[in-house]
């Protein structure tokens, strides 16, 4: 279904195979992403279905918060006496 330059329609529903083609990942990677929560499909019988919005959110994950000043500073090792 998906070609190289396919447009991801946010309200369209895609199969696991379509999703793998769009994201250019293997089905094993897709299953790992499902377990990790990066992809959140609907389960239809034994298959999975994804909306375009879910695929787009997997491509653009939320940014991690910036480290605080204490976390950004390298820690010094104590010298043993």
* Residue 8 C-alpha from the chain's centroid: 15
pLDDT value at residue 77: 66
Cα-Cα-Cα-Cα dihedral sign, residues 45, 50, 51, 57: positive
Summarize pLDDT for 54-67 with one digit per residue, the tens: 999 888 766 666 66
Query: What mean pLDDT is reported for the chain?
Result: 82
Q: What are phi and psi of 19, to 5 degrees?
A: -65, -45
- Is residue 72's pLDDT more than 90? no
- Indicate if the pLDDT at residue 21 is higher than 80: yes
pLDDT per residue as tens digits for the range 44-57: 999 999 999 999 98
Contacts of 29 (CB under 8 A, 6+ apart): 20
* pTM recorded for the entire structure: 0.64
The CA distances from residue 36 to 9, 32, 59, 75, in Å, are 24, 6, 14, 31
């Amino acid at each position: 279904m998906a070609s190289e330059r396919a447009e991801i329609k946010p309200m369209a529903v895609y199969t696991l195979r379509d999703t793998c083609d769009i994201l250019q990942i293997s089905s094993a990677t897709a299953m790992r992403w499902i377990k990790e929560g990066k992809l959140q499909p609907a389960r239809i019988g034994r298959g999975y279905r994804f909306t375009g919005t879910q695929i787009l959110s997997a491509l653009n994950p939320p940014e991690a918060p910036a480290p605080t000043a204490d976390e950004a500073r390298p820690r010094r090792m104590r010298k043993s006496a």
